[in-house]
Structure 1
């Protein structure tokens, strides 16, 4: 219908649409920084666990290509249907494999069952850390902080990011929705999206789709995560990558972040090892 969608959730990359503005992370702003972090901390082998749909399948294809190029061994790769809650077999396989870390692309309630079973067999973050890309502050409570404390996540924003913009964002959010509520990366990316759209409309002096598309390149917003800027070539935004650790209060705290915002590269054109993953733009 030639309308616009502002999409605020991380995704698997390898696409760009002139009708979509992607305010969540693409692959080189989340998955690749997570892999870089694991490699820098000495991880030489991974076990991949994911839900059976496009994001985990594509993410793991990228992870496999990265691993081959960087000398990381993939010791297992398992998928479960979305919503699956039976993980005893997979967790036992993970435990037996003895990988240095697990890369988790499970989504939804499956994470609750996976981490409870993970803790049930005695696996810990110290023994075999799990890097997740779909668990934010909201999900920690459902999983049970005792089952996931110390584990890692890769996002661009956490409630604990220290900035004036984030302090104001969190204060306003809690005032509106309750002091016990938490913010998260998708919430923040959606908040940014509204402001980016408004700024683009103001720049274009028009609400028309064509005018907004033409004006979007270079539009920026000082969001809670930091400055985000729309790339006019692919409609993604620059984003700072952050690795977070889940602590006993149920919040995620940054243990590593990129030196600055990472320019979006949804087709991974800047990564030689990803050449075989390219799709038609």
Structure 2
């Protein structure tokens, strides 16, 4: 099976991208790779001659992550890819990530496949051989033994994260890719998962397809993304009738930054 590993990137994540390339070259040298740069102008000196490279500039409200992933998928499919593995630029693939996704795709060709993710601590920059020793999948999602799969329950689709997942081209076409309503941070992955559920596409937890999220500073709730979350959350509400990212919205509200007005969340003056 011809596997493509797809990444969207920007100059701000250059160090993460270079580390991801190193690990991919070690664990999946045979994989087709596609990278889509999301900056206004593609960064100089960062392209890899062995990688399909595309450019998707920002929209009026920020980086178009979903559109970038759609572009990467289209490029890989045009090159004959039989399995699309999406991996965020700040994630490293485990040694068996491609193999486990490939096995799961053979057993569940019509599914959206999702492997476990370990969040690395700031001091960790493990060698490829050491990745198994730092594997601690995030407890918010199911983490199955290597080689095992389980079809998600309907209420588990909210646990889908787009930082590591895989899908066959046929299923990707059935999903229609990421919706174009989202720019900047948040909600595009939940939208894809809800599209899958509404379309009857099973979400399959895939044991052993481990990815490792490289450390970078974050805040909870993510204050610098407040406007993105309100805008993208509103777009999700228009499509699905509910607001995503409820925990963050409640945290912003508790801090006095936003309030609920009818069906809407709005930013308060001075926040």
TM-score, shorter chain, exceeding 0.5? no
**TM-score, normalising length from structure 1?**
0.28
**TM-score, normalising length from structure 2?**
0.29
